[in-house]
Structure 1
Amino acid sequence: MGNSDTPLIQLKGVTKVYGMGQSEMHALRGIDLTIESGDFVAVMGPSGSGKSTCMNILGCLDTPTAGSYKFGGLEVRGLERDQLARLRRNYIGFVFQGFNLLSRTSALENVELPLLYRGVSSAHRKEAAKRALNLVGLTGWEKHNPNELSGGQQQRVAIARAIVTEPSVLFADEPTGNLDSARSIEIMELLTRLNQEKGITVVMVTHEPDMAEYAKRSVHFKDGLVVS
Protein backbone atom coordinates (compact mmCIF):
# COMPACT_ATOMS: atom_id res chain seq x y z
CA MET A 1 0.00 0.00 0.00
CA GLY A 2 1.65 3.21 -1.17
CA ASN A 3 5.29 4.07 -0.59
CA SER A 4 6.85 5.25 2.65
CA ASP A 5 6.35 8.94 1.78
CA THR A 6 2.59 8.46 1.51
CA PRO A 7 0.78 9.17 4.80
CA LEU A 8 -1.02 6.10 6.14
CA ILE A 9 -4.19 8.10 6.66
CA GLN A 10 -5.26 11.36 5.06
CA LEU A 11 -8.63 13.04 5.53
CA LYS A 12 -9.36 16.18 3.49
CA GLY A 13 -12.53 18.22 3.92
CA VAL A 14 -14.42 15.24 5.34
CA THR A 15 -18.01 15.97 6.33
CA LYS A 16 -20.69 13.66 7.65
CA VAL A 17 -24.35 14.59 7.63
CA TYR A 18 -27.05 12.35 9.09
CA GLY A 19 -30.73 12.75 8.19
CA MET A 20 -32.36 15.10 5.71
CA GLY A 21 -34.06 18.49 5.68
CA GLN A 22 -35.16 19.71 9.12
CA SER A 23 -33.58 16.82 10.99
CA GLU A 24 -30.14 17.21 9.41
CA MET A 25 -27.31 16.60 11.84
CA HIS A 26 -23.80 17.67 10.88
CA ALA A 27 -21.53 15.27 12.77
CA LEU A 28 -18.38 16.36 10.90
CA ARG A 29 -18.05 19.80 9.35
CA GLY A 30 -14.89 19.48 7.29
CA ILE A 31 -12.07 17.51 8.88
CA ASP A 32 -8.46 17.61 7.70
CA LEU A 33 -6.27 15.02 9.39
CA THR A 34 -3.02 13.32 8.43
CA ILE A 35 -1.64 10.34 10.33
CA GLU A 36 1.77 9.03 9.36
CA SER A 37 2.70 5.37 9.54
CA GLY A 38 4.11 4.62 13.03
CA ASP A 39 2.29 7.50 14.72
CA PHE A 40 0.45 7.16 18.05
CA VAL A 41 -2.45 9.62 18.15
CA ALA A 42 -4.89 10.31 20.98
CA VAL A 43 -8.28 11.57 19.77
CA MET A 44 -10.03 13.70 22.37
CA GLY A 45 -13.13 15.83 22.70
CA PRO A 46 -16.50 15.95 24.46
CA SER A 47 -19.41 13.66 23.59
CA GLY A 48 -21.00 14.71 20.33
CA SER A 49 -17.81 16.41 19.11
CA GLY A 50 -17.54 14.11 16.10
CA LYS A 51 -14.63 12.00 17.27
CA SER A 52 -16.58 8.70 17.20
CA THR A 53 -17.97 9.47 13.74
CA CYS A 54 -14.45 10.22 12.58
CA MET A 55 -13.15 6.95 14.04
CA ASN A 56 -15.94 5.02 12.27
CA ILE A 57 -14.95 6.62 8.97
CA LEU A 58 -11.26 5.89 9.59
CA GLY A 59 -12.11 2.28 10.41
CA CYS A 60 -14.17 1.96 7.18
CA LEU A 61 -17.31 1.30 9.23
CA ASP A 62 -18.93 4.45 7.82
CA THR A 63 -18.42 6.60 4.73
CA PRO A 64 -18.01 10.40 4.46
CA THR A 65 -20.82 12.54 3.00
CA ALA A 66 -18.17 14.63 1.24
CA GLY A 67 -14.41 15.00 1.18
CA SER A 68 -11.57 12.55 0.66
CA TYR A 69 -10.26 9.67 2.79
CA LYS A 70 -7.06 8.09 1.57
CA PHE A 71 -5.63 5.00 3.25
CA GLY A 72 -2.05 4.31 2.15
CA GLY A 73 -2.67 6.63 -0.80
CA LEU A 74 -5.80 4.74 -1.87
CA GLU A 75 -9.06 6.71 -2.07
CA VAL A 76 -11.46 4.81 0.19
CA ARG A 77 -14.64 6.48 -1.06
CA GLY A 78 -14.66 4.70 -4.40
CA LEU A 79 -14.26 1.20 -2.96
CA GLU A 80 -16.94 -1.47 -3.28
CA ARG A 81 -18.31 -3.11 -0.13
CA ASP A 82 -16.17 -6.24 -0.45
CA GLN A 83 -13.06 -4.10 -1.09
CA LEU A 84 -13.83 -2.13 2.09
CA ALA A 85 -14.26 -5.39 4.00
CA ARG A 86 -10.90 -6.57 2.69
CA LEU A 87 -9.24 -3.31 3.69
CA ARG A 88 -10.65 -3.69 7.22
CA ARG A 89 -9.66 -7.33 7.42
CA ASN A 90 -6.10 -6.93 6.15
CA TYR A 91 -4.93 -3.55 7.41
CA ILE A 92 -7.05 -2.53 10.40
CA GLY A 93 -7.36 -3.81 13.97
CA PHE A 94 -10.07 -2.71 16.42
CA VAL A 95 -10.07 -2.62 20.23
CA PHE A 96 -13.21 -1.52 22.09
CA GLN A 97 -13.94 -0.47 25.64
CA GLY A 98 -16.14 -3.54 26.19
CA PHE A 99 -13.59 -6.20 25.13
CA ASN A 100 -16.24 -7.94 22.92
CA LEU A 101 -14.84 -11.41 23.58
CA LEU A 102 -16.79 -14.63 23.06
CA SER A 103 -17.55 -15.82 26.59
CA ARG A 104 -17.45 -19.61 26.31
CA THR A 105 -14.40 -19.59 24.11
CA SER A 106 -10.77 -19.82 25.18
CA ALA A 107 -8.39 -16.88 24.91
CA LEU A 108 -6.57 -18.66 22.08
CA GLU A 109 -9.76 -19.26 20.08
CA ASN A 110 -10.86 -15.65 20.59
CA VAL A 111 -7.56 -14.45 19.15
CA GLU A 112 -7.78 -16.91 16.23
CA LEU A 113 -11.14 -15.53 15.04
CA PRO A 114 -9.94 -12.87 12.55
CA LEU A 115 -7.71 -15.51 10.93
CA LEU A 116 -10.65 -17.89 10.67
CA TYR A 117 -12.46 -15.24 8.59
CA ARG A 118 -9.40 -15.05 6.37
CA GLY A 119 -9.42 -18.80 5.77
CA VAL A 120 -6.06 -19.41 7.45
CA SER A 121 -5.38 -23.09 8.25
CA SER A 122 -5.87 -24.32 11.81
CA ALA A 123 -2.16 -24.90 12.49
CA HIS A 124 -1.18 -21.44 11.26
CA ARG A 125 -4.02 -19.84 13.24
CA LYS A 126 -2.88 -21.44 16.49
CA GLU A 127 0.71 -20.45 15.83
CA ALA A 128 -0.16 -16.81 15.10
CA ALA A 129 -2.61 -16.59 18.03
CA LYS A 130 0.05 -17.92 20.44
CA ARG A 131 2.50 -15.34 19.13
CA ALA A 132 -0.03 -12.53 19.60
CA LEU A 133 -0.87 -13.67 23.15
CA ASN A 134 2.83 -13.83 23.92
CA LEU A 135 3.23 -10.25 22.63
CA VAL A 136 0.58 -9.03 25.09
CA GLY A 137 2.13 -11.00 27.98
CA LEU A 138 -0.46 -13.80 28.24
CA THR A 139 1.63 -16.89 27.53
CA GLY A 140 0.20 -19.69 29.70
CA TRP A 141 -3.35 -18.26 29.63
CA GLU A 142 -4.32 -19.63 26.17
CA LYS A 143 -6.88 -22.13 27.48
CA HIS A 144 -8.65 -19.76 29.90
CA ASN A 145 -12.11 -18.43 29.07
CA PRO A 146 -12.78 -14.68 29.51
CA ASN A 147 -14.70 -15.25 32.79
CA GLU A 148 -11.48 -16.71 34.25
CA LEU A 149 -9.52 -13.58 33.36
CA SER A 150 -9.33 -10.14 34.98
CA GLY A 151 -10.53 -7.05 33.09
CA GLY A 152 -6.96 -6.13 32.20
CA GLN A 153 -6.27 -9.65 30.91
CA GLN A 154 -9.48 -9.60 28.87
CA GLN A 155 -8.43 -6.33 27.28
CA ARG A 156 -5.04 -7.89 26.45
CA VAL A 157 -6.82 -10.79 24.74
CA ALA A 158 -8.84 -8.21 22.78
CA ILE A 159 -5.61 -6.44 21.78
CA ALA A 160 -4.01 -9.77 20.80
CA ARG A 161 -7.06 -10.48 18.63
CA ALA A 162 -6.70 -7.06 16.99
CA ILE A 163 -3.00 -7.50 16.20
CA VAL A 164 -3.00 -11.18 15.19
CA THR A 165 -3.54 -10.12 11.57
CA GLU A 166 -0.50 -7.80 11.79
CA PRO A 167 -2.55 -4.72 10.88
CA SER A 168 -1.06 -1.39 9.72
CA VAL A 169 -3.19 0.50 12.22
CA LEU A 170 -4.92 -0.23 15.51
CA PHE A 171 -8.03 1.81 16.33
CA ALA A 172 -8.69 1.75 20.07
CA ASP A 173 -11.92 3.24 21.39
CA GLU A 174 -11.60 4.08 25.11
CA PRO A 175 -9.42 0.97 25.61
CA THR A 176 -8.99 1.70 29.33
CA GLY A 177 -12.59 2.85 29.90
CA ASN A 178 -13.57 -0.25 31.91
CA LEU A 179 -10.30 -0.68 33.82
CA ASP A 180 -8.88 0.53 37.12
CA SER A 181 -5.85 2.80 37.03
CA ALA A 182 -3.18 0.11 37.51
CA ARG A 183 -4.64 -2.01 34.67
CA SER A 184 -5.07 1.12 32.55
CA ILE A 185 -1.37 1.90 32.83
CA GLU A 186 -0.53 -1.69 31.85
CA ILE A 187 -2.69 -1.46 28.74
CA MET A 188 -1.22 1.93 27.77
CA GLU A 189 2.32 0.60 28.22
CA LEU A 190 1.39 -2.37 26.05
CA LEU A 191 0.00 -0.11 23.28
CA THR A 192 3.14 2.03 23.50
CA ARG A 193 5.31 -1.06 23.13
CA LEU A 194 3.36 -2.35 20.13
CA ASN A 195 3.69 1.08 18.56
CA GLN A 196 7.43 1.40 19.20
CA GLU A 197 8.62 -2.18 18.72
CA LYS A 198 6.19 -3.48 16.11
CA GLY A 199 5.64 -0.18 14.29
CA ILE A 200 1.85 -0.48 14.57
CA THR A 201 0.17 2.89 14.11
CA VAL A 202 -2.23 3.51 17.03
CA VAL A 203 -5.23 5.85 16.95
CA MET A 204 -6.97 5.94 20.32
CA VAL A 205 -10.10 7.72 21.50
CA THR A 206 -9.86 8.65 25.17
CA HIS A 207 -11.50 10.99 27.68
CA GLU A 208 -8.58 10.76 30.07
CA PRO A 209 -5.73 13.28 29.72
CA ASP A 210 -3.30 11.02 31.61
CA MET A 211 -3.95 8.20 29.09
CA ALA A 212 -3.54 10.65 26.19
CA GLU A 213 -0.06 11.48 27.47
CA TYR A 214 1.16 8.08 26.27
CA ALA A 215 0.45 9.14 22.68
CA LYS A 216 2.94 11.05 20.53
CA ARG A 217 0.30 13.70 19.84
CA SER A 218 -3.31 14.58 20.56
CA VAL A 219 -6.05 15.65 18.19
CA HIS A 220 -8.94 17.56 19.77
CA PHE A 221 -12.43 17.56 18.32
CA LYS A 222 -15.14 20.11 19.02
CA ASP A 223 -18.49 20.60 17.26
CA GLY A 224 -17.53 18.43 14.29
CA LEU A 225 -14.17 20.11 13.71
CA VAL A 226 -10.57 19.43 14.64
CA VAL A 227 -9.67 22.36 16.90
CA SER A 228 -6.04 21.47 17.62
Structure 2
Amino acid sequence: MNASASLISFLNVGRNYGTGGGLVQALAGVDLEIRQGEFIAITGPSGSGKSTAMNIIGCLDRPSSGQFRFLGINVGSLNRDQRALLRRNYIGFVFQGFNLLNRTTAIENVELPLIYRGMARSERRDRAAVALGRVGLAGREHHTPGELSGGQQQRVAIARAIVTDPLLLLADEPTGNLDTQRSHEIMELIAGLNADRGITVAMVTHEPDMAAYARRLIHFVDGHISSDSEQKAA
Protein backbone atom coordinates (compact mmCIF):
# COMPACT_ATOMS: atom_id res chain seq x y z
CA MET A 1 0.00 0.00 0.00
CA ASN A 2 1.28 3.46 -0.90
CA ALA A 3 1.31 5.40 2.36
CA SER A 4 1.62 8.68 0.46
CA ALA A 5 -1.60 8.20 -1.53
CA SER A 6 -4.53 10.35 -0.46
CA LEU A 7 -7.49 8.45 0.93
CA ILE A 8 -9.56 11.28 2.47
CA SER A 9 -9.64 14.91 1.35
CA PHE A 10 -11.69 17.77 2.81
CA LEU A 11 -11.68 20.81 0.55
CA ASN A 12 -13.13 23.82 2.42
CA VAL A 13 -15.80 21.57 3.97
CA GLY A 14 -18.60 23.25 5.86
CA ARG A 15 -21.53 21.60 7.61
CA ASN A 16 -24.54 23.50 8.91
CA TYR A 17 -27.58 22.28 10.79
CA GLY A 18 -30.85 24.16 11.14
CA THR A 19 -31.86 27.47 9.56
CA GLY A 20 -32.28 31.11 10.46
CA GLY A 21 -31.78 31.87 14.14
CA GLY A 22 -31.34 28.17 14.85
CA LEU A 23 -28.45 27.74 12.42
CA VAL A 24 -25.50 25.83 13.87
CA GLN A 25 -22.20 25.76 11.99
CA ALA A 26 -20.63 22.42 12.95
CA LEU A 27 -17.76 22.69 10.47
CA ALA A 28 -16.49 26.00 9.10
CA GLY A 29 -14.40 25.56 5.95
CA VAL A 30 -12.17 22.64 6.98
CA ASP A 31 -9.26 21.48 4.83
CA LEU A 32 -7.88 18.04 5.69
CA GLU A 33 -6.01 15.22 4.01
CA ILE A 34 -5.60 11.69 5.36
CA ARG A 35 -3.15 9.45 3.54
CA GLN A 36 -3.45 5.71 3.15
CA GLY A 37 -1.77 3.88 6.02
CA GLU A 38 -2.02 6.71 8.54
CA PHE A 39 -3.25 6.38 12.13
CA ILE A 40 -4.85 9.62 13.25
CA ALA A 41 -6.60 10.63 16.45
CA ILE A 42 -9.26 13.34 16.30
CA THR A 43 -9.83 15.23 19.54
CA GLY A 44 -11.65 18.32 20.75
CA PRO A 45 -14.29 19.48 23.23
CA SER A 46 -17.98 18.71 22.87
CA GLY A 47 -19.43 20.64 19.95
CA SER A 48 -16.03 21.20 18.32
CA GLY A 49 -16.96 19.45 15.08
CA LYS A 50 -14.94 16.26 15.53
CA SER A 51 -17.97 13.94 15.42
CA THR A 52 -19.40 15.77 12.41
CA ALA A 53 -16.07 15.34 10.61
CA MET A 54 -16.08 11.64 11.48
CA ASN A 55 -19.63 11.20 10.16
CA ILE A 56 -18.64 12.80 6.87
CA ILE A 57 -15.52 10.64 6.61
CA GLY A 58 -17.71 7.59 7.19
CA CYS A 59 -20.12 8.67 4.45
CA LEU A 60 -22.90 8.92 7.04
CA ASP A 61 -23.34 12.65 6.42
CA ARG A 62 -22.56 15.10 3.62
CA PRO A 63 -21.03 18.59 3.64
CA SER A 64 -23.24 21.65 3.26
CA SER A 65 -20.42 23.27 1.29
CA GLY A 66 -17.02 22.33 -0.08
CA GLN A 67 -16.02 18.86 -1.19
CA PHE A 68 -15.32 15.57 0.55
CA ARG A 69 -13.30 13.17 -1.58
CA PHE A 70 -12.70 9.48 -0.90
CA LEU A 71 -10.00 7.96 -3.12
CA GLY A 72 -10.42 11.01 -5.34
CA ILE A 73 -14.18 10.54 -5.75
CA ASN A 74 -16.43 13.47 -4.83
CA VAL A 75 -18.73 11.71 -2.37
CA GLY A 76 -21.21 14.59 -2.50
CA SER A 77 -22.01 13.61 -6.09
CA LEU A 78 -23.02 10.07 -5.07
CA ASN A 79 -26.57 9.02 -4.31
CA ARG A 80 -27.63 7.20 -1.14
CA ASP A 81 -27.13 3.71 -2.58
CA GLN A 82 -23.69 4.59 -3.96
CA ARG A 83 -22.59 5.97 -0.59
CA ALA A 84 -23.84 2.80 1.11
CA LEU A 85 -21.83 0.73 -1.35
CA LEU A 86 -18.72 2.81 -0.62
CA ARG A 87 -19.16 2.23 3.13
CA ARG A 88 -19.74 -1.48 2.64
CA ASN A 89 -16.67 -2.01 0.48
CA TYR A 90 -14.08 0.32 1.99
CA ILE A 91 -14.91 1.29 5.59
CA GLY A 92 -15.11 -0.60 8.89
CA PHE A 93 -16.75 0.96 11.96
CA VAL A 94 -16.01 0.47 15.67
CA PHE A 95 -18.21 2.21 18.25
CA GLN A 96 -18.04 2.84 21.98
CA GLY A 97 -21.12 0.69 22.60
CA PHE A 98 -19.92 -2.44 20.69
CA ASN A 99 -23.32 -2.72 18.88
CA LEU A 100 -23.35 -6.52 18.91
CA LEU A 101 -26.48 -8.66 18.56
CA ASN A 102 -26.96 -10.08 22.06
CA ARG A 103 -28.44 -13.47 21.16
CA THR A 104 -26.01 -14.08 18.34
CA THR A 105 -22.63 -15.77 18.68
CA ALA A 106 -19.35 -13.96 18.11
CA ILE A 107 -18.76 -15.58 14.74
CA GLU A 108 -22.32 -14.79 13.61
CA ASN A 109 -21.85 -11.14 14.62
CA VAL A 110 -18.63 -10.96 12.62
CA GLU A 111 -20.30 -12.56 9.57
CA LEU A 112 -22.95 -9.84 9.27
CA PRO A 113 -21.12 -7.52 6.83
CA LEU A 114 -20.41 -10.51 4.59
CA ILE A 115 -24.08 -11.49 4.55
CA TYR A 116 -24.86 -8.01 3.20
CA ARG A 117 -22.33 -8.69 0.45
CA GLY A 118 -24.13 -11.89 -0.48
CA MET A 119 -21.15 -14.13 0.33
CA ALA A 120 -21.73 -17.88 0.58
CA ARG A 121 -22.12 -19.21 4.13
CA SER A 122 -19.03 -21.43 4.11
CA GLU A 123 -16.76 -18.67 2.84
CA ARG A 124 -18.06 -16.04 5.24
CA ARG A 125 -17.79 -18.46 8.17
CA ASP A 126 -14.13 -19.09 7.29
CA ARG A 127 -13.37 -15.39 6.95
CA ALA A 128 -15.12 -14.57 10.22
CA ALA A 129 -13.07 -17.22 12.03
CA VAL A 130 -9.86 -15.74 10.63
CA ALA A 131 -10.90 -12.24 11.73
CA LEU A 132 -11.64 -13.47 15.26
CA GLY A 133 -8.25 -15.12 15.35
CA ARG A 134 -6.60 -11.83 14.38
CA VAL A 135 -8.13 -10.10 17.40
CA GLY A 136 -7.15 -12.88 19.79
CA LEU A 137 -10.51 -14.63 20.11
CA ALA A 138 -9.80 -18.01 18.54
CA GLY A 139 -11.81 -20.53 20.54
CA ARG A 140 -14.50 -17.99 21.46
CA GLU A 141 -16.37 -18.14 18.16
CA HIS A 142 -19.55 -19.61 19.64
CA HIS A 143 -19.79 -17.41 22.74
CA THR A 144 -22.58 -14.83 22.85
CA PRO A 145 -21.82 -11.25 23.96
CA GLY A 146 -23.22 -12.02 27.42
CA GLU A 147 -20.55 -14.69 27.82
CA LEU A 148 -17.72 -12.28 26.96
CA SER A 149 -16.07 -9.45 28.88
CA GLY A 150 -16.33 -5.86 27.68
CA GLY A 151 -12.86 -6.03 26.18
CA GLN A 152 -13.70 -9.26 24.38
CA GLN A 153 -16.94 -7.76 23.05
CA GLN A 154 -14.98 -4.86 21.60
CA ARG A 155 -12.59 -7.34 20.00
CA VAL A 156 -15.60 -9.00 18.34
CA ALA A 157 -16.69 -5.57 17.11
CA ILE A 158 -13.22 -4.94 15.69
CA ALA A 159 -13.22 -8.36 13.99
CA ARG A 160 -16.57 -7.47 12.42
CA ALA A 161 -15.09 -4.18 11.20
CA ILE A 162 -12.04 -5.80 9.58
CA VAL A 163 -13.63 -8.96 8.16
CA THR A 164 -14.26 -7.14 4.87
CA ASP A 165 -10.59 -6.05 4.61
CA PRO A 166 -11.48 -2.33 4.64
CA LEU A 167 -9.13 0.44 3.58
CA LEU A 168 -10.31 2.59 6.49
CA LEU A 169 -11.19 1.77 10.09
CA LEU A 170 -13.26 4.44 11.86
CA ALA A 171 -13.21 4.15 15.64
CA ASP A 172 -15.55 6.38 17.66
CA GLU A 173 -14.45 6.40 21.33
CA PRO A 174 -13.53 2.69 21.06
CA THR A 175 -12.33 2.48 24.68
CA GLY A 176 -15.06 4.62 26.26
CA ASN A 177 -16.77 1.67 27.99
CA LEU A 178 -13.61 -0.13 29.09
CA ASP A 179 -11.32 -0.02 32.12
CA THR A 180 -7.73 1.19 31.77
CA GLN A 181 -6.09 -2.18 31.17
CA ARG A 182 -8.65 -3.29 28.60
CA SER A 183 -8.46 0.14 26.93
CA HIS A 184 -4.73 -0.22 26.37
CA GLU A 185 -5.19 -3.76 25.09
CA ILE A 186 -7.72 -2.55 22.52
CA MET A 187 -5.49 0.34 21.47
CA GLU A 188 -2.53 -2.00 21.02
CA LEU A 189 -4.75 -4.18 18.84
CA ILE A 190 -5.87 -1.23 16.71
CA ALA A 191 -2.30 0.07 16.42
CA GLY A 192 -1.19 -3.41 15.35
CA LEU A 193 -3.83 -3.58 12.61
CA ASN A 194 -2.53 -0.26 11.33
CA ALA A 195 1.16 -1.21 11.50
CA ASP A 196 0.92 -4.84 10.36
CA ARG A 197 -1.96 -4.77 7.89
CA GLY A 198 -1.74 -1.19 6.65
CA ILE A 199 -5.33 -0.34 7.57
CA THR A 200 -5.82 3.42 7.79
CA VAL A 201 -7.25 4.33 11.19
CA ALA A 202 -9.18 7.48 12.12
CA MET A 203 -10.23 7.55 15.76
CA VAL A 204 -12.27 10.06 17.76
CA THR A 205 -11.32 10.14 21.43
CA HIS A 206 -11.36 12.49 24.40
CA GLU A 207 -8.70 10.49 26.25
CA PRO A 208 -5.12 11.79 25.79
CA ASP A 209 -3.53 8.46 26.71
CA MET A 210 -5.56 6.73 23.98
CA ALA A 211 -4.81 9.47 21.44
CA ALA A 212 -1.12 8.90 22.19
CA TYR A 213 -1.26 5.64 20.22
CA ALA A 214 -1.86 7.55 16.98
CA ARG A 215 0.94 8.94 14.85
CA ARG A 216 -0.97 12.11 14.01
CA LEU A 217 -3.14 14.24 16.29
CA ILE A 218 -5.85 16.54 14.90
CA HIS A 219 -7.60 18.86 17.36
CA PHE A 220 -10.91 20.56 16.57
CA VAL A 221 -12.24 23.75 18.18
CA ASP A 222 -15.43 25.59 17.13
CA GLY A 223 -15.70 23.86 13.76
CA HIS A 224 -12.07 24.46 12.81
CA ILE A 225 -8.88 22.40 12.99
CA SER A 226 -6.87 24.23 15.66
CA SER A 227 -3.82 21.97 15.40
CA ASP A 228 -2.59 19.10 13.25
CA SER A 229 0.69 17.53 14.31
CA GLU A 230 2.74 14.36 13.94
CA GLN A 231 3.60 12.55 17.14
CA LYS A 232 5.61 9.54 18.25
CA ALA A 233 3.09 6.77 18.90
CA ALA A 234 2.89 5.24 22.38
TM > 0.5: yes
Q: CA deviation at 1:161?
A: 0.3
Corresponding residue number in structure 1 for 2:94: 95
Structure 2 counterpart of 1:216, which letter?
A: R
Is contact 2:4-2:36 (8 Å) kept?
no
Kindly indicate whether the alpha-carbon contact (under 8 Å) linking 1:95 and 1:162 is maintained by their aligned counterparts in 2. yes
1:22-37 matched pairs, under 5 angstroms: 22-37=21-36
Q: CA deviation digits over 1:122-169, x for unaligned, max 9?
A: 001101100100000000000000000000000000000000000000
User: Alignment length, in residue pairs?
Assistant: 226
Runs of 4+ with deviation above 2 angstroms: 3-6
Residue 216 of structure 1: CA displacement?
0.5
TM-score by length of 1: 0.98
Residue of structure 1 in register with 2:230 after alignment: none
1:35-91 CA-to-partner distances (Å, cap 9, x unmatched) read: 000000000000100000110000000000001111011111101111100000000
Partner of 2:147: 148
RMSD: 0.9
Shift of 1:4: 7.0
How many Å separate the matches in 1 of 2:45 and 2:80?
A: 31
Q: Residue type matched to 2:61 in 1?
A: D
Shift of residue 205 of structure 1?
0.4
2:140 aligned with 1:133: no
1:212 corresponding residue in structure 2: 211
Q: CA deviation at 1:185?
A: 0.5
CA distance in 1, matches of 2:190, 2:131: 13
Query: 1:169/1:140 Cα in 2 relative to 1: closer, same or farther (>3 Å)?
Result: same
Q: Map 1:57-68; keep pairs closer than 5 Å.
A: 57-68=56-67
Alpha-carbon separation, structure 2, partners of 1:107 and 1:95: 15
Partner of residue 47, structure 2: 48
Aligned to 2:169: 170
AA partner of residue 89 (structure 2): N
Q: Distance in 2 between matches of 1:21 and 1:46?
A: 25
Q: Verify: 1:80 aligned to 2:79, yes or no.
A: yes
**Residue 197 of structure 1: aligned partner:** 196
Corresponding residue of 1:157: 156
**Structure 2: 5+ residue stretches without partners:** 228-234
Partner Cα separation in structure 2 for residue 165 and residue 100 of structure 1: 17
Paired letter, 2:103: R
Sequence identity percentage: 62
Indicate if the aligned counterparts of 1:6 and 1:73 stay in contact, CA closer than 8 A.
Answer: no
Q: Do 1:128 and 1:164's aligned partners in 2 also have CA atoms closer than 8 Å?
A: yes
The unaligned stretches of length 5 or more in structure 1 are none
Q: Secondary structure in 2 aligned to 1:90?
A: helix
Give the distance between the partners of 1:96 and 1:138, measured in 2 at CA.
19
Q: Deviations over 1:180-201 (max 9, x none)?
A: 0000010000001000111000
* Matches of 1:48 and 1:7, distance apart in 2: 27
Task: Tell me if the contact between 2:94 and 2:170 (Cα under 8 Å) persists in the aligned partners.
Answer: yes
Q: How far did residue 12 of structure 1 move?
A: 1.0
Deviation for aligned residue 1:6: 3.7
Give, in whole Å, the separation in 2 of the partners of 1:47 and 1:80: 30
What secondary structure does 1:8 align onto?
strand
In structure 2, give the amino acid aligned to 1:117. Answer: Y
What does residue 231 of structure 2 align with? none
TM-score, normalised via structure 2 length: 0.95
